[in-house]
Amino acid sequence: MAGSSFGKIFQVSTWGESHGLGLGVVVQGCPPGIVLDEAILQKALDKRKPGKGNTSTRRKEPDKAEILSGVFEGVTTGTPISIMIRNQDARSRDYHKNAAVFRPGHGDITYQAKYGIRDWRGGGRASARETAARVAAGAVAQAFLDIHGITIKSMTLALGGVSIEKINIDPDANNLQCPDSAGFEKMEARIAQVKRQGDSLGGVVEVTACNVPSGLGDPVFDKLDADIAKALMSIGAVKALEIGAGCRAATLTGYENNDPITREGFGSNNSGGILAGISNGEDIVARVHVKPIPSISKSQQTVDENGNETILSTTGRHDISAIPRINPVCRAMLALVIADHLLRQKCLQ
């Protein structure tokens, strides 16, 4: 299957399906001597795993990471790192009755068109469960970035049309990764309302990389922001991306949008830490706009594999929103991009 690998020097290849025996990732290009063990991977995976919070599926997966290769006595060896995460709570029977029906909003119909076959058990490779492998790979990348003092953080800016008004708490203080205490309460109420209606919600997540050195990024087609866009847009639920001022830049004048330059650095960060596709030393700031989860219990119009029209109401265990579990996925993908470009830059030195 083409398209399952990402990166040029720090390269990852994910594998596996939602309802198969498991899923995992092979990481190539990680330098030797990086401190890494399963506990480090588990800390990252625990932030993404299902079954936590009122937006999450009731599927209970421990998401226990197993390092199969590439690590010896607690450090990387420079050889390919293989990581496996076994599926332990898949219930394929929930999907059997609608196996021949295309679910609106899902990749069922496009996978069928491309391959002539599809895994109807939870969507197979198209399932959000694939992102567990990305988070494991991102933890490896972050272990490398830690040596360089580069940190990555994220927070939920909006959920179901409810936006934060101010930042007054640590995003880790609640299960939605919301930095606004009043906004969190409004989001919780919105979730409860939509859950009763059998529907789902989208939202907006901001992810930031701090202490990134200037000079990362390769013009013209491998711009740092272009690779970040590809990385974050490759997450299944992401439908739009902004960097820095993003869409707001289109409403500004050049004078308003340009970041003043002083001896001490930049006076603002409308660029989102990237100029001409190259990092400028400021925080790299990106925002992803996430669509609602397509699996809903509300009745929807669709067709089956024979073209017969039918009505579908999705049953089973599904998230109400990809938020907050998409937060660690966004952090992982940004870590992979920064790690790859950092290694590319080292090749020039």
* Dihedral (Cα; 329, 331, 336, 339), 10-degree rounding: -170
Give this prediction's pTM. Answer: 0.94
Q: What angle do CA 200, 203, 208 make, to 5 degrees?
A: 145
pLDDT tens series, the chain, 349 aa: 689 999 999 999 999 988 888 999 999 999 999 999 999 999 999 999 866 666 655 657 789 999 999 999 999 999 999 999 999 866 666 667 778 899 999 999 999 999 999 888 878 888 889 999 999 999 999 999 999 999 999 999 999 999 999 999 999 999 999 999 999 999 999 999 999 999 999 999 999 999 999 999 999 999 999 999 999 999 999 999 999 999 999 999 999 999 999 999 999 999 999 999 999 999 999 999 999 999 998 999 999 999 999 998 877 667 899 999 999 999 999 999 999 999 999 887 6
Domain 5-346 CATH (choose: 3.30.450.20, 3.60.150.10, 3.20.20.70, 3.40.50.720): 3.60.150.10
* Every domain of the chain and the residues it spans: 5-346
Interatomic CA distance for residues 130 and 118, integer angstroms: 15
Contact between 249 and 270 under an 8 Å Cβ cutoff? The reply is: yes
Which residue type, as a one-letter code, is found at position 97? K
Contact between 205 and 157 under an 8 Å Cβ cutoff? The reply is: yes
